[in-house]
Structure 1
Amino acid sequence: MACTNKDDLINLTEREFAKLQKLIASLDQAQSEKGEDDVSIKDVIGHRAHWIDLFLGWYNDGMAGKEVFFPAKGYKWNDLKRYNADLRQRQAHLDWETVKTLLQSRHDQLVLFLSDLSNTKLYGGPMQGANNKWTTGRWAEAAGPSHYRSAAKFIRTVLRRQS
């Protein structure tokens, strides 16, 4: 069930991030190795960091009255597989430590963003530019804690396969 207020959203964001951090803390550069689906743990962590950037960009563009591209300019939602493959290619040069640092940095930006907005700005109505009924808080939850949870699930699956 989605959060409906700022305090719950911040708490959920911090809780899910802590779980993910605990999971990746002991992993090393070997996590850059691609699995059966041509996706590595490093790819998934880089993806999660990037989607926080996307969300913050969507919000800022909407607030500035600019056109908001979901998920990004030149892509539609049904192009997500292609978008994610292109993202993996763009992030291929990043090493494991860089990707973990990137995730921490984007998480910190997300928490600061959530802390700076009022409950009304997060949940008082649809996010500007989104062209749907999701609130800013709901979009933030999808980009942060929901993505952290799915990354943790992916990592646990990979680690089970490896053992």
Structure 2
Amino acid sequence: MPRPKSKEELIVLSQKNLDKLIGMVNNYPEQKTVQEFPAGTLNRNIKDVLAHLHTWHLMMLEWYKVGMNGDNPAIPSLGFTWKTLPELNRKIQDENKGLPLSKAINLLLESHGEIHKIMDKHTDEELFEKKRYHWTGSTSLAAYLISNTSSHYDWAIKLIKKALK
């Protein structure tokens, strides 16, 4: 499915890609679910990837809350810029080191549900109109949601498949 252009497409593709990701993970034999990825891959295993997605959901939820309250959220995160993203992602990995896979899955499903609450409460115009909200800059709320759901899930699927070949 191409990039969503409506609320319905946004919701459907987000859920479809999450279902595909979780289904893929659940279909792997246990030894694959804990297998280390090749050297040089930041996320070292499936659990790291899922915890990464969950943490980005949490950041999106914070951006939304702060931005919709009229303030400027720290995007991507306090003390980080888009140029220092690798450092932020290493921090996310370090913070989730001891997390079991089952917990990472549950947290991801939970935060995905919270992201969908945002999608549900907005109209097509509120989601897709560029520059509608000061905190989204020159883009739309949907662009942030797509980046944090369907596109991010697609990235995760591709990374896991490649790493576990």
Tell whether the structures are fold-level matches, with TM greater than 0.5. yes
Taking only aligned residues, the RMSD between alpha carbons, in angstroms, comes to: 1.7
Contact 2:67 2:73 in 1 (8 A): yes
Residue in structure 2 matched with residue 136 of structure 1 by the alignment: 141
Residue in structure 1 matched with residue 161 of structure 2 by the alignment: 156
Residue in structure 2 matched with residue 69 of structure 1 by the alignment: 74
User: What is the distance in 1 between the residues matched to 2:110 and 2:53?
Assistant: 11
Matches within 5 A, 1:21-60: 21-27=22-28, 28=30, 31-35=33-37, 36-37=39-40, 38=42, 39-60=44-65
How many residue pairs get aligned? The number is 159
User: What is the distance in 2 between the residues matched to 1:109 and 1:23?
Assistant: 22
Runs of 4+ deviating beyond 6 Å: none
Name the amino acid aligned to 2:21. Answer: L
User: What is the distance in 2 between the residues matched to 1:49 and 1:134?
Assistant: 23
Query: 1:87 and 1:29, CA in 2 relative to 1: closer, same or farther beyond 3 A?
Result: farther
TM-score normalised per structure 2: 0.88
User: What is the distance in 2 between the residues matched to 1:105 and 1:47?
Assistant: 14
Which structure is higher in RCO with an 8 Å CA cutoff and minimum separation 6? 1
Deviations 1:106-128 (A, max 9, x none): 11112222112111211123243
Deviations 1:65-95 (A, max 9, x none): 1221111000010111110001111111211
**Identity within the alignment, %:** 23
Residue 4 of structure 1, CA deviation = 1.9
Where do 5+ consecutive residues of structure 2 fail to align? Answer: none
